[in-house]
Amino acid sequence: MIKAIVTDIEGTTSSLSFVKDVLFPYARVHIAEFVRDHADDPEVRQLLRDVSWEAGKELDLGQTIAQLIEWIDQDKKITPLKALQGLIWEEGYRKGAFAGHIYEDAERNLKAWKACGLGLYIYSSGSVHAQKLLFSHTDYGDLTPWFSGYFDTRIGGKREVDSYRRIADELRLLPESLLFLSDIKEELDAARQAGFHTVWLVRDGKPDSDAEHRQAQDFDQIEIVFSNDR
Ligand SMILES: CSCCC(=O)C(=O)COP(=O)(O)O
Ligand SMILES: [Mg+2]
Protein backbone atom coordinates (compact mmCIF):
# COMPACT_ATOMS: atom_id res chain seq x y z
CA MET A 1 0.00 0.00 0.00
CA ILE A 2 2.52 2.59 1.13
CA LYS A 3 5.27 3.64 -1.28
CA ALA A 4 6.49 6.81 0.38
CA ILE A 5 6.30 8.68 3.67
CA VAL A 6 5.94 12.44 3.94
CA THR A 7 6.78 13.71 7.40
CA ASP A 8 6.37 16.91 9.35
CA ILE A 9 9.31 18.03 11.52
CA GLU A 10 8.25 20.01 14.64
CA GLY A 11 6.53 17.65 17.09
CA THR A 12 7.00 14.68 14.74
CA THR A 13 10.65 13.89 13.87
CA SER A 14 11.91 16.60 16.25
CA SER A 15 10.89 18.10 19.55
CA LEU A 16 8.54 21.04 19.80
CA SER A 17 10.89 22.52 22.35
CA PHE A 18 13.90 22.47 19.98
CA VAL A 19 11.96 24.57 17.48
CA LYS A 20 10.18 26.87 19.98
CA ASP A 21 12.92 27.27 22.61
CA VAL A 22 16.09 27.06 20.50
CA LEU A 23 15.49 27.86 16.82
CA PHE A 24 12.82 30.57 17.09
CA PRO A 25 14.58 32.57 19.86
CA TYR A 26 17.90 32.36 17.95
CA ALA A 27 16.22 33.85 14.86
CA ARG A 28 14.47 36.49 16.98
CA VAL A 29 17.72 37.64 18.57
CA HIS A 30 19.64 37.80 15.28
CA ILE A 31 17.00 38.94 12.77
CA ALA A 32 17.53 42.72 13.04
CA GLU A 33 21.29 42.47 12.61
CA PHE A 34 20.93 39.89 9.83
CA VAL A 35 18.44 41.99 7.86
CA ARG A 36 20.52 45.16 8.21
CA ASP A 37 23.75 43.36 7.21
CA HIS A 38 22.23 41.55 4.21
CA ALA A 39 19.57 43.98 2.96
CA ASP A 40 21.50 44.46 -0.29
CA ASP A 41 22.02 40.76 -1.04
CA PRO A 42 19.69 39.94 -3.97
CA GLU A 43 18.03 36.96 -2.21
CA VAL A 44 17.40 38.90 1.02
CA ARG A 45 16.30 42.02 -0.88
CA GLN A 46 13.60 39.97 -2.63
CA LEU A 47 12.50 38.40 0.69
CA LEU A 48 12.18 41.87 2.25
CA ARG A 49 9.98 42.93 -0.69
CA ASP A 50 7.91 39.79 -0.07
CA VAL A 51 7.47 40.85 3.59
CA SER A 52 5.93 44.15 2.42
CA TRP A 53 3.71 42.26 0.01
CA GLU A 54 2.53 39.86 2.74
CA ALA A 55 1.94 42.81 5.08
CA GLY A 56 -0.14 44.52 2.39
CA LYS A 57 1.81 47.78 2.58
CA GLU A 58 5.22 49.24 1.78
CA LEU A 59 7.51 48.90 4.82
CA ASP A 60 10.87 50.59 5.44
CA LEU A 61 13.72 48.54 6.90
CA GLY A 62 12.83 49.28 10.54
CA GLN A 63 9.14 48.50 9.96
CA THR A 64 10.10 45.30 8.12
CA ILE A 65 12.18 44.13 11.09
CA ALA A 66 9.34 44.97 13.51
CA GLN A 67 6.89 43.07 11.29
CA LEU A 68 9.18 40.02 11.18
CA ILE A 69 9.57 40.01 14.98
CA GLU A 70 5.79 40.27 15.40
CA TRP A 71 5.32 37.28 13.07
CA ILE A 72 7.95 35.28 15.00
CA ASP A 73 6.12 36.01 18.26
CA GLN A 74 2.84 34.90 16.67
CA ASP A 75 4.48 31.78 15.10
CA LYS A 76 3.20 32.83 11.68
CA LYS A 77 4.08 30.43 8.87
CA ILE A 78 4.70 33.20 6.33
CA THR A 79 7.05 32.16 3.52
CA PRO A 80 9.55 35.11 3.56
CA LEU A 81 9.82 34.90 7.37
CA LYS A 82 10.50 31.15 7.17
CA ALA A 83 13.11 31.72 4.44
CA LEU A 84 14.88 34.41 6.51
CA GLN A 85 14.83 32.20 9.61
CA GLY A 86 16.55 29.47 7.59
CA LEU A 87 19.31 31.84 6.51
CA ILE A 88 19.85 32.94 10.14
CA TRP A 89 19.87 29.36 11.47
CA GLU A 90 22.55 28.48 8.89
CA GLU A 91 24.98 30.64 10.86
CA GLY A 92 23.89 29.01 14.15
CA TYR A 93 24.49 25.49 12.84
CA ARG A 94 27.84 26.54 11.34
CA LYS A 95 29.00 28.05 14.63
CA GLY A 96 27.83 24.99 16.58
CA ALA A 97 25.29 27.06 18.56
CA PHE A 98 22.92 24.04 18.29
CA ALA A 99 22.47 20.74 16.43
CA GLY A 100 19.31 19.60 14.67
CA HIS A 101 17.20 17.63 17.11
CA ILE A 102 15.83 14.28 15.90
CA TYR A 103 14.14 11.79 18.22
CA GLU A 104 16.08 8.52 18.45
CA ASP A 105 12.99 6.50 17.42
CA ALA A 106 12.54 8.75 14.37
CA GLU A 107 16.17 8.34 13.30
CA ARG A 108 16.05 4.56 13.70
CA ASN A 109 12.76 4.06 11.85
CA LEU A 110 13.51 6.51 9.04
CA LYS A 111 16.73 4.59 8.44
CA ALA A 112 14.88 1.25 8.41
CA TRP A 113 12.12 2.53 6.13
CA LYS A 114 14.71 3.87 3.71
CA ALA A 115 16.49 0.50 3.74
CA CYS A 116 13.14 -1.18 2.90
CA GLY A 117 12.85 0.95 -0.23
CA LEU A 118 10.29 3.50 0.93
CA GLY A 119 10.66 7.04 -0.41
CA LEU A 120 11.15 9.60 2.35
CA TYR A 121 10.05 13.23 2.03
CA ILE A 122 9.76 16.21 4.37
CA TYR A 123 6.86 18.67 4.45
CA SER A 124 7.40 21.44 6.99
CA SER A 125 6.55 25.10 7.37
CA GLY A 126 10.28 25.65 7.84
CA SER A 127 11.92 26.51 4.50
CA VAL A 128 13.49 23.71 2.44
CA HIS A 129 16.86 25.31 3.22
CA ALA A 130 16.08 25.14 6.97
CA GLN A 131 14.92 21.52 6.65
CA LYS A 132 18.16 20.48 4.93
CA LEU A 133 20.21 22.32 7.56
CA LEU A 134 18.40 20.54 10.40
CA PHE A 135 18.78 17.07 8.91
CA SER A 136 22.41 17.63 7.91
CA HIS A 137 23.47 18.79 11.40
CA THR A 138 22.03 16.13 13.73
CA ASP A 139 23.72 14.26 16.57
CA TYR A 140 23.51 11.20 14.26
CA GLY A 141 25.36 12.98 11.45
CA ASP A 142 24.04 14.03 8.07
CA LEU A 143 20.68 12.32 7.40
CA THR A 144 19.89 14.19 4.16
CA PRO A 145 20.98 11.25 1.93
CA TRP A 146 17.87 9.39 3.18
CA PHE A 147 15.47 11.99 1.78
CA SER A 148 14.32 12.15 -1.82
CA GLY A 149 12.64 15.55 -1.60
CA TYR A 150 11.51 18.45 0.56
CA PHE A 151 8.38 20.62 0.55
CA ASP A 152 7.67 23.87 2.37
CA THR A 153 4.96 26.56 2.32
CA ARG A 154 5.87 27.39 -1.29
CA ILE A 155 3.70 24.40 -2.25
CA GLY A 156 0.91 25.74 0.00
CA GLY A 157 -0.12 25.81 3.65
CA LYS A 158 -0.04 22.59 5.63
CA ARG A 159 -3.73 22.84 6.54
CA GLU A 160 -4.83 23.12 2.89
CA VAL A 161 -5.99 20.03 1.00
CA ASP A 162 -4.57 21.27 -2.30
CA SER A 163 -1.03 21.28 -0.88
CA TYR A 164 -1.18 17.51 -0.43
CA ARG A 165 -2.69 17.04 -3.91
CA ARG A 166 0.23 19.06 -5.33
CA ILE A 167 2.76 16.98 -3.38
CA ALA A 168 1.27 13.72 -4.71
CA ASP A 169 1.33 15.18 -8.24
CA GLU A 170 4.97 16.23 -7.88
CA LEU A 171 5.93 12.80 -6.60
CA ARG A 172 3.90 11.15 -9.40
CA LEU A 173 2.36 8.88 -6.80
CA LEU A 174 -1.26 8.21 -5.95
CA PRO A 175 -2.29 9.82 -2.64
CA GLU A 176 -3.36 6.40 -1.35
CA SER A 177 0.27 5.20 -1.64
CA LEU A 178 1.47 8.06 0.58
CA LEU A 179 1.59 8.25 4.36
CA PHE A 180 1.69 11.64 6.10
CA LEU A 181 3.00 11.95 9.66
CA SER A 182 2.23 14.97 11.80
CA ASP A 183 1.40 16.12 15.33
CA ILE A 184 -1.25 18.60 14.12
CA LYS A 185 -4.80 17.36 13.54
CA GLU A 186 -5.71 20.06 10.98
CA GLU A 187 -2.71 19.07 8.83
CA LEU A 188 -3.70 15.40 9.03
CA ASP A 189 -7.32 16.25 8.16
CA ALA A 190 -6.16 18.07 5.02
CA ALA A 191 -3.83 15.23 4.01
CA ARG A 192 -6.55 12.64 4.53
CA GLN A 193 -9.04 14.65 2.52
CA ALA A 194 -6.49 14.55 -0.32
CA GLY A 195 -6.42 10.75 -0.02
CA PHE A 196 -3.21 10.24 2.02
CA HIS A 197 -2.91 7.72 4.83
CA THR A 198 -2.20 9.52 8.09
CA VAL A 199 -0.63 8.88 11.47
CA TRP A 200 -1.00 11.39 14.28
CA LEU A 201 2.11 11.64 16.47
CA VAL A 202 0.98 12.17 20.07
CA ARG A 203 4.39 12.29 21.72
CA ASP A 204 3.38 14.20 24.85
CA GLY A 205 -0.22 13.19 25.26
CA LYS A 206 -2.47 10.22 25.65
CA PRO A 207 -3.99 8.76 22.48
CA ASP A 208 -7.53 10.06 21.90
CA SER A 209 -9.95 7.17 21.44
CA ASP A 210 -12.33 9.32 19.35
CA ALA A 211 -9.68 10.53 16.90
CA GLU A 212 -10.19 9.79 13.21
CA HIS A 213 -6.49 9.31 12.54
CA ARG A 214 -4.32 6.38 13.58
CA GLN A 215 -2.15 7.52 16.47
CA ALA A 216 1.38 6.74 17.62
CA GLN A 217 3.34 7.95 20.62
CA ASP A 218 6.59 7.47 18.72
CA PHE A 219 7.83 6.11 15.38
CA ASP A 220 8.14 2.56 16.80
CA GLN A 221 4.33 2.44 16.98
CA ILE A 222 3.84 3.26 13.30
CA GLU A 223 2.87 0.22 11.27
CA ILE A 224 3.58 0.37 7.58
CA VAL A 225 1.73 -1.81 5.10
CA PHE A 226 4.21 -2.13 2.26
CA SER A 227 3.33 -2.08 -1.41
CA ASN A 228 4.27 -5.18 -3.45
CA ASP A 229 5.25 -3.22 -6.55
CA ARG A 230 7.54 -0.52 -5.19
C1 LIG B 1 12.86 23.25 9.45
S2 LIG B 1 12.90 23.29 11.16
C3 LIG B 1 11.95 24.65 11.64
C4 LIG B 1 10.52 24.35 11.63
C5 LIG B 1 9.72 25.60 11.54
O6 LIG B 1 10.22 26.65 11.23
C7 LIG B 1 8.33 25.55 11.83
O8 LIG B 1 7.64 26.54 11.69
C9 LIG B 1 7.69 24.27 12.25
O10 LIG B 1 6.96 23.82 11.24
P11 LIG B 1 6.45 22.30 11.10
O12 LIG B 1 5.66 22.40 9.85
O13 LIG B 1 7.64 21.41 10.98
O14 LIG B 1 5.59 21.99 12.28
MG1 LIG C 1 4.41 19.72 13.52
Any atom of ligand 1 within 6 Å of the Cβ of 19: yes
What does DSSP assign to residue 142? -
d(C-alpha 101, C-alpha 15), whole Å? 7
Are the C-beta atoms of 135 and 144 separated by less than 8 Å? yes
Report which ligand 1 atom has the smallest distance to the Cα of 127: 1
Full strand arrangement of the beta sheet holding 197-201: 149-151, 119-123, 4-7, 178-182, 197-201, 214-216
Fold held by 4-15+101-221: Rossmann fold (3.40.50)
Taking the CA of residue 198 as centre, how many other CA atoms within 13 Å lie in the half-sphere pointing to its CB?
Answer: 23
Q: Distance from the CA of 125 to the center of ligand 1, in angstroms?
A: 5
Q: What is the value of pTM for the model shown?
A: 0.94
What one-character-per-residue DSSP string does 111-124 give? HHHHHTT-EEEEE-
Mean pLDDT value of segment 96-112: 98
What does DSSP assign to residue 130? H
Are the C-beta atoms of 44 and 35 separated by less than 8 Å? yes
pLDDT at res. 127? 97
Any atom of ligand 1 within 6 Å of the Cβ of 153: no
pLDDT at res. 228? 55
Lowest mean pLDDT among 145-154, 175-184, 198-207: 198-207
Are the C-beta atoms of 180 and 197 separated by less than 8 Å? yes
* 18-95 CATH, one of 1.10.3720.10, 3.90.245.10, 1.10.720.60, 3.40.50.150: 1.10.720.60
d(C-alpha 66, C-alpha 2), whole Å? 45
d(C-alpha 120, C-alpha 117), whole Å? 9
Any atom of ligand 1 within 6 Å of the Cβ of 131: yes
Query: Which ipTM score applies to this complex?
Result: 0.96
Any atom of ligand 1 within 6 Å of the Cβ of 158: yes
Q: In which residue ranges of the chain is CATH 1.10.720.60 found? A: 18-95
Mean pLDDT value of segment 141-150: 98
pLDDT at res. 211? 81
Residue nearest to ligand 1 atom 10, measured at CA: 125
